[in-house]
């Protein structure tokens, strides 16, 4: 039966969610000869792709492997990641003539625009014969003898396989919903506690006031939480701490935990200060520290340690204190900016309920969950899209 929109109401596969994972699943299933309908409540597909990577989409990471993902079961992601690799996605990007470059740490970005990736996925979907229905409000999902019926404001769709790719809770303003979690629960699948990941951390008002002069300053840093550490940029903001190093550690951080900040971790600041004292004793500590750190940060650190006088006046103990203030600073964030700005949602559908080869629910044949809604969350740097492509491909291969 053909619906008002010209879409086939009965198909082999329904995909809910036209994001990164859903589009990849539709492409793979369509190329296998399956009839596919993709439903999304948004007005445009791939909205998160469009805003990703500052508009240039960090679409994969050439070093992506299981070690770059957080999950209650760190082994779950292995199978899908091995069967659709960064090289596979790069091959697709190259086939479509999209220019790209490696920015840093294996992170690949479009030279021009993230929209190129969306266009590519839509072209691939067209070639695979997958139909796309936007503005589809999902009223309910039920099991039928033949598979699944998805009711929308404009009628029902039926298919033998249902792939759920509605993402996580981050950026609700962009239409993120808890749909996948609710649906998983409806079908008896466990959902692990969800929380915002890759998110700036906030500080309590007292601490925030003291670092207010630093807002806008960025510096290379190592941020440590327990045995996990990331070396990337740290950014001081009006709300607290941000920058890639903080976003990375935020996925490991829990309320009440401390993080340890080391600014310019590749420089031995204590030795630098001792050398500066020997070479130019009349220099101020601000100037000596300002040679290797942003000036405002240097001044802040000196004032915070209540150090005054010239370098020559300062005992080595004071210099060590100053260095420690910059390189082993324990900070207890008060919270995070939450889903409003988080790039991803940690936790989600328990991988124990899914087959790691196909993403199919073990207890509900024909029902698949892929992408961010599953309890697999990547580091910052193209890993989350790689998970979306790989899990989408895995489901599209079997649905």
Question: Applying CB under 6 A, which residues contact ligand FDA?
Answer: 16-22, 40-42, 47-48, 51-53, 57-58, 138, 165-167, 170-171, 175, 177, 179, 343-344, 371-372, 382-385, 388
> CA-CA distance, 223 to 236, in Å (whole number)?
13
Do 225 and 253 touch, CB atoms closer than 8 A? yes
Enter the DSSP assignment of 357. T
Looking at beta carbons only, is 265 or 382 nearer to ligand FDA? 382
- The single residue listed with the structure tokens 């036209």 is 18
- Shortest reach from residue 196's CB to ligand FDA, in Å: 10
Q: Please count the other Cβ atoms lying within 10 Å of the Cβ belonging to residue 73.
A: 14
Which DSSP category does 104 fall into? S
Q: What secondary structure letter does DSSP report for 8?
A: B
Q: How far is CA 174 from CA 49, 207, 340, 357, 377, in A?
A: 12, 32, 10, 30, 19
In the complex, the smallest distance separating the C-beta of residue 21 from ligand FDA, rounded to whole angstroms, is 3
Distances (CA, A) of 199 to 242, 243, 304, 376, 394: 8, 9, 27, 16, 28
| Shorter beta-carbon distance to ligand FDA: residue 245 or 262 | 245
Q: What is the closest distance, in whole angstroms, from the C-beta atom of residue 187 to ligand FDA in the complex? A: 15
Q: How far is the CB of 88 from ligand FDA (least distance, A)?
A: 15
Nearer to ligand FDA, 3 or 213 (CB): 3
Instruction: Report the residue number, 12 or 40, with the smaller CB distance to ligand FDA.
Output: 40
Give the nearer residue to ligand FDA in terms of CB position, either 167 or 285. 167
Q: How far is the CB of 112 from ligand FDA (least distance, A)?
A: 15
- Partnered with residue 142 across adjacent β-strands are 149
Q: Which is closer to ligand FDA, CB of 166 or CB of 327?
A: 166
Distance CA 241, CA 331 (A): 10
Residue 12 Cβ vs ligand FDA, minimum distance, rounded to whole Å: 20
Q: Please provide the size of the chain in residues.
A: 399
Smallest Cα–Cα separation from 246: which of 108, 383, 341? 341
Ramachandran category for residue 155: left, alpha or beta (phi over 0 → left; psi -120 to 50 → alpha): left
**Measured distance CA(164)–CA(178) in Å, rounded:** 12
CB of 251 to ligand FDA, least distance (A): 12
In the complex, the smallest distance separating the C-beta of residue 61 from ligand FDA, rounded to whole angstroms, is 8
CB under 8 Å, gap of 24 or more: what pairs does 297-302 form? 297/214, 297/217, 297/219, 297/263, 297/326, 300/211, 300/213, 300/214, 301/325, 301/326
């Amino acid at each position: 039966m053909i619906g008002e929109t010209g879409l086939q109401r009965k198909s082999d596969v329904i995909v809910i969610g036209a994001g990164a994972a859903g589009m990849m699943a539709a492409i793979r299933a369509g190329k296998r000869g399956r009839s596919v309908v993709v439903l999304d409540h948004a007005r445009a597909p791939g909205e998160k792709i469009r805003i990703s990577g500052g508009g240039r989409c960090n679409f994969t990471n050439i070093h992506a492997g299981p070690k770059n993902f957080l999950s209650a079961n760190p082994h779950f992601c292995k199978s899908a990641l091995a069967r659709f690799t960064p090289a596979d996605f790069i091959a697709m990007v190259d086939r479509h003539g999209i220019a790209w470059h490696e920015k840093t740490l294996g992170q690949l970005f479009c030279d021009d625009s993230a929209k190129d990736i969306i266009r590519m996925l839509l072209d691939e979907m067209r070639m695979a014969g997958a139909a796309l229905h936007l503005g589809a409000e999902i009223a309910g999902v039920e099991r039928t003898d033949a598979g699944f019926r998805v009711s929308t404001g404009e009628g029902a769709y039926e298919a033998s396989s249902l792939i759920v790719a509605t993402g996580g809770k981050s950026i609700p303003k962009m239409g993120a919903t808890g749909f996948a979690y609710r649906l998983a629960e409806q079908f008896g699948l466990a959902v692990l506690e969800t929380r915002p990941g890759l998110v700036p951390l906030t500080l309590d008002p007292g601490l925030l006031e003291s670092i207010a002069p630093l807002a806008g300053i960025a510096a290379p840093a190592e941020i440590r939480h327990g045995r996990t550490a990331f070396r990337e940029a740290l950014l001081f903001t009006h709300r607290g701490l941000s920058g890639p190093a903080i976003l990375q550690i935020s996925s490991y951080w829990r309320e009440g935990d401390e993080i340890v900040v080391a600014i310019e971790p590749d420089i031995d600041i204590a030795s630098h200060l001792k050398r500066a004292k020997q070479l130019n004793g009349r220099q101020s500590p601000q100037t000596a520290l300002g040679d290797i750190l942003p000036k405002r940060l240097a001044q802040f650190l000196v004032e915070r340690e209540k150090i005054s006088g010239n370098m020559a006046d300062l005992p080595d103990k004071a210099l060590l204190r100053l260095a420690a203030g910059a390189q082993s600073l324990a900070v207890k964030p008060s919270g995070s900016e939450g889903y409003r700005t988080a790039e991803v949602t940690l936790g989600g559908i328990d991988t124990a309920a899914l087959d790691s080869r196909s993403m199919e629910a073990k207890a509900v044949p024909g029902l698949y969950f892929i992408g961010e809604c599953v309890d697999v969350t990547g580091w910052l740097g193209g890993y989350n899209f790689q998970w979306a492509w790989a899990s989408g491909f895995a489901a599209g291969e079997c649905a």
